[in-house]
Amino acid sequence: MPMDELVTPHRKWMKAALREAERAFEADEVPVGAVVVRGNVIVGRGHNMVERLDDPTAHAELIAITAACTTLGSKKLDGCTLYVTLEPCPMCAGATVLARVDRIVFGAFDEKAGAASTLYNIPQDARLNHRAEIISGVESDRCAELLQEFFRSKRGPDLRGSQ
């Protein structure tokens, strides 16, 4: 199958995850968004709500997984794909294993906490009872750009070059 045909549906769903990330940005949260898709339908969505809820576990992936489990009436997300704008952290990667997500598609790599390929690869660890397919780098430029824009706004202008 040509690469464009393989990537095109992933781009569609990643753009839905990006819309969730933009909602987080507008709410002054770290702009990470996620959607869970099954059978060409979004069954769960979420964006970071750590600040709003004062909850360090309120990551986009966990909110989307919880919503999908509620929608489907099951703690197992067989046949589902998680689309997330940033590579999952160890907590979120572990949740994908527990929920038995079939596939994880992420945008930007996370050099500091990535647990789906960069630092660890929890979803494909053969010692665990479930493994998920990983597809990385979908819409990575836009995903990374949104994060960079957010953190630039928090730090203020870069004054190093203005002397």
Q: What amino acid is encoded at 107 in this protein?
A: G
Given the structure tokens 């997500």, which residue do they identify?
A: 101
CB atoms within 10 A of CB 134: 18
Question: H or E element: which one contains 153?
Answer: helix 140-155
Of 61, 133, 139, 145, the active-site residue reads 61
| Contact of 85 with 108, CB cutoff 8 Å | yes
The dihedrals phi and psi of 56, each to the nearest 5 degrees, come to -65, -10
139 is catalytic: no
Question: H or E element: which one contains 91?
Answer: helix 90-99
- The 3-state DSSP class for residue 121 equals strand
Contacts of 5 (CB under 8 A, 6+ apart): none
| Contact of 36 with 67, CB cutoff 8 Å | yes
Catalytic site positions = 61
